[in-house]
C-alpha cells in the first residue's frame, strides 16, 4: 500500500467545479470570527460540492491571508457572498426556496441521526459564532434546528468540525 499522488486522485479543475452539479446546499456563517474557520469551511464546502457560502456580519471574507491558509484555493472554486445582516440573507434564501436549518442546541432541536433531509430539497445550513452560536433572532426565523449528539464534558464542536460532520451526514443521506 502507498499514498496516492495528487495526479492519481484525478480531481476536477476549478473550471470543472464551477460547472459541476452541486449538492443543493448553501452554508451560512452567522458572525464567525476566526478566519481559519472560514477557510476550513471553504475547503470542506468544496469537498462536498456546496452551491455557495454566505458570509454574514463580522465573518471575514476573501481575500485574506488566514482564510487562504486553510482554504488551500477553495475560495476560487466555491461561490460566496458577504452580507451584513444574517436575517436579510436568510429571507432571500427562503424566497429562493431553501429550507433553513440552523445547527444549534435548542429546546426543539432534532438530533442529527434522527434528521432526514429530503433528496432534491434545497437547504441552507446556518452555523454560528464560535462562542455565542447562532443568534436567537435567527433561531426564531429558521425552519428547524439540528444538533450533533455529544457525549463528553464539552457542549460544542469547533465550527469547522461541525461543518464536516453535517455535510458528510447530508451527503450520505441524500446521495
State pLDDT tens for residues 40-68: 999 999 999 999 999 999 999 999 999 99
Share of the chain above pLDDT 90, in %: 95
Q: Which DSSP string corresponds to the chain?
A: --PPPTGGG-PPPHHHHHHS---SEEEEEES---HHHHHHHHHHHHHTT-SEEEEETT---SS-HHHHHHHTTHHHHSEEEEES-HHHHHHHHHHTTPEEEEE---TTPEEGGG--PPTT--EEEEEEBTTTBS-HHHHTTSSEEEE----SS-S---HHHHHHHHHHHHHHHH-
Residue 30 domain-assigned (yes or no): yes
Residue range 138-150: mean pLDDT, rounded = 97
Residue 143 domain-assigned (yes or no): yes
Residue 65 domain-assigned (yes or no): yes
Q: State the chain's mean pLDDT as an integer.
A: 96
pLDDT at 7 over 90: no
Confidence of residue 172 (pLDDT cuts 50, 70, 90): very high
Q: Look up residue 40 and give its three cell numbers.
A: 476550513
Q: What domain count does the chain have? A: 1
| pLDDT tens-place string over residues 73-127 | 999 999 999 999 999 999 999 999 999 999 999 999 999 999 999 989 999 999 9
pTM as predicted: 0.96
Residue 12 domain-assigned (yes or no): no
Range of the domain at 150: 21-174
Residue 102 near residue 128, CB atoms below 8 Å:
yes
Residue 10 domain-assigned (yes or no): no
Which pLDDT belongs to residue 39?
A: 98
Residue 16 domain-assigned (yes or no): no
Residue 56 domain-assigned (yes or no): yes
Dihedral of CA 51/56/62/67: which sign?
negative
Domain CATH number, residue 153: 3.40.1280.10
Which pLDDT belongs to residue 146?
A: 98
Residue 123 near residue 99, CB atoms below 8 Å:
yes
Residue 159 domain-assigned (yes or no): yes
Amino acid at each position: 500500500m502507498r499514498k496516492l499522488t495528487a495526479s492519481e486522485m484525478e480531481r476536477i479543475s476549478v473550471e470543472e467545479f464551477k460547472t459541476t452539479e452541486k449538492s443543493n446546499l448553501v452554508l451560512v456563517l452567522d458572525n464567525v470570527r476566526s478566519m481559519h474557520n472560514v477557510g476550513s469551511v471553504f475547503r470542506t464546502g468544496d469537498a462536498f460540492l456546496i452551491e455557495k457560502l454566505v458570509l454574514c456580519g463580522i465573518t471575514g471574507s476573501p481575500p485574506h491571508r488566514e482564510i487562504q491558509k486553510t482554504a488551500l484555493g477553495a475560495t476560487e472554486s466555491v461561490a460566496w457572498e458577504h452580507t451584513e445582516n444574517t436575517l436579510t440573507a436568510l429571507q432571500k434564501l427562503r424566497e429562493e426556496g431553501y429550507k433553513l436549518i440552523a445547527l444549534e442546541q435548542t429546546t426543539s432541536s432534532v438530533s442529527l441521526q434522527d434528521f432526514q433531509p429530503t433528496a432534491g430539497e434545497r437547504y441552507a445550513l446556518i452555523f454560528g459564532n464560535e462562542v455565542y452560536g447562532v443568534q436567537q433572532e435567527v433561531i426564531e426565523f429558521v425552519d428547524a434546528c439540528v444538533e450533533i449528539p455529544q457525549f463528553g464534558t464539552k457542549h460544542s464542536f469547533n465550527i469547522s468540525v461541525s461543518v464536516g460532520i453535517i455535510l458528510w451526514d447530508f451527503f450520505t443521506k441524500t446521495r
